[in-house]
Amino acid sequence: MNLKIMMAVVMAMTAMAVRAETRDPVPVVTPTQSVAQADATLERVARDRAVVADTFAAEEAVCNDKFFVNNCMDRAKEKRRMALAQLRAEEVEAEHFKRADSVAKRDAELSERARKDAEEFSRREAAPPKPARTEEELAQPAAPRGGKSVAEREAEHAQRLRRDAAKSASEVDKRAANVAAYEKRQADAVRRQEQVAKRVAERRAKAEARAADEKKKADAAAAAAAAAAAKKQ
pLDDT digit string, tens, across residues 12-53: 555 554 444 445 567 888 888 988 999 999 999 999 999 999
C-alpha distances out from residue 64 to 21, 51, 56, 76, 167, Å: 21, 20, 12, 12, 64
3-state secondary structure (DSSP) of residue 145: coil
Q: Is residue 64 very low, low, confident or very high in pLDDT (cuts 50, 70, 90)?
A: confident
pLDDT of 207 strictly over 70: yes
Q: Has this prediction a pTM greater than 0.85?
A: no
DSSP state of 127: S
Closest among 172, 175, 177, 179 to 117, alpha carbons compared: 172
Instruction: Indicate the range of 33-47, 64-78, 157-171 predicted with least confidence.
Output: 157-171
Give the DSSP letter string of 2-71: HHHHHHHHHHHHHHHHHHHHT--PPPP-PPP-SHHHHHHHHHHHHHHHHHHHHHHHHHHHHHTTSSSHHH
pLDDT of 126 strictly over 80: no
Across residues 207-227, what is the average pLDDT? Answer: 78
pLDDT of 174: 78
Instruction: Indicate the range of 10-14, 68-72, 189-193, 196-200 predicted with least confidence.
Output: 10-14
Q: Is 140 left (phi over 0), alpha (psi -120 to 50) or beta?
A: beta
Instruction: Indicate the range of 140-144, 171-175, 229-233 predicted with least confidence.
Output: 140-144
Percent of the residues in the chain that have a pLDDT greater than 70, as a whole number: 78
pLDDT of 3: 46
pLDDT of 105 strictly over 60: yes
Q: Is residue 138 very low, low, confident or very high in pLDDT (cuts 50, 70, 90)?
A: low
pLDDT of 169 strictly over 80: no
Q: How many CB atoms are closer than 10 A to CB 87?
A: 20
pLDDT of 46: 93
What is the C-alpha R_g of the chain? 36
DSSP state of 143: P
Gap between the Cα atoms of 53 and 44, Å rounded: 14
pLDDT of 2 strictly over 80: no
Gap between the Cα atoms of 73 and 214, Å rounded: 23
By the 8 A CB rule, do 23 and 219 touch? no
What's the whole-number average pLDDT of the chain? 77
Across residues 64-88, what is the average pLDDT? Answer: 88
